[in-house]
Amino acid sequence: MKNRLLGYLLLLALMSSFHFTIEAQTYEHSAGVRLGNTAGLTYKKFLIDEQAIEILLSGRNEGLQVTVSYLTHKPLEFSFNSNFYVFYGVGAHIGLEHFNNLNKSIVPDGNGLNTFVFDNRNYFTMGIDGTVGIEYRWLSVPITISFDIKPYFNYIGMRFTRTKFWDAGLSFKYIF
């Protein structure tokens, strides 16, 4: 048991001390999955330097959405590793979403009790998204691991709005 723990600690130390000799190593494309409230398939294409377009096909609230974001990446200089990057950007989404809404109708049921009427249907949605996150580029494997927060403002059926500031996710992408 003690040897196994020592082996895991040694492996963790080796992984965190990876330092590549070429500091300007970047990648052009990546694709993978995003896990979180807005989970889905993601594809990123770098345009120039550290500017990228990311497309996310996701399921949110029993619906399907496409989000397109323009992201800027900046190196996050740690003394032990230069493969961390911070990224931020804005984008927009469009899709369908399942929405339960109190219709603000109260119907007496005849027994002295009231019944609330709910709208329970799918709506067309569109909105704006922000993104801020941190990415680790493990170029020798080749994968990236990132954690991001995607706040969004959502128009639902053009009658309702919804805002969520803490839509966090963990992404694993293959670099090609």
Q: Where are the domains of the chain?
A: 40-71+88-130+149-175
* pLDDT of 24 higher than 50: no
* pLDDT of 135 higher than 70: yes
Q: Would you state the pLDDT for residue 44?
A: 97
Q: How far is CA 93 from the centre of its chain?
A: 13
- Give this prediction's pTM: 0.74
Q: Would you state the pLDDT for residue 161?
A: 83
- Identity of residue 62: E
Q: Give the mean model confidence (pLDDT) for residues 49-77.
A: 93
In angstroms and rounded to an integer, the radius of gyration of the C-alpha atoms of the chain is 22
* pLDDT of 82 higher than 60: yes
Q: What is the mean pLDDT of the chain?
A: 82
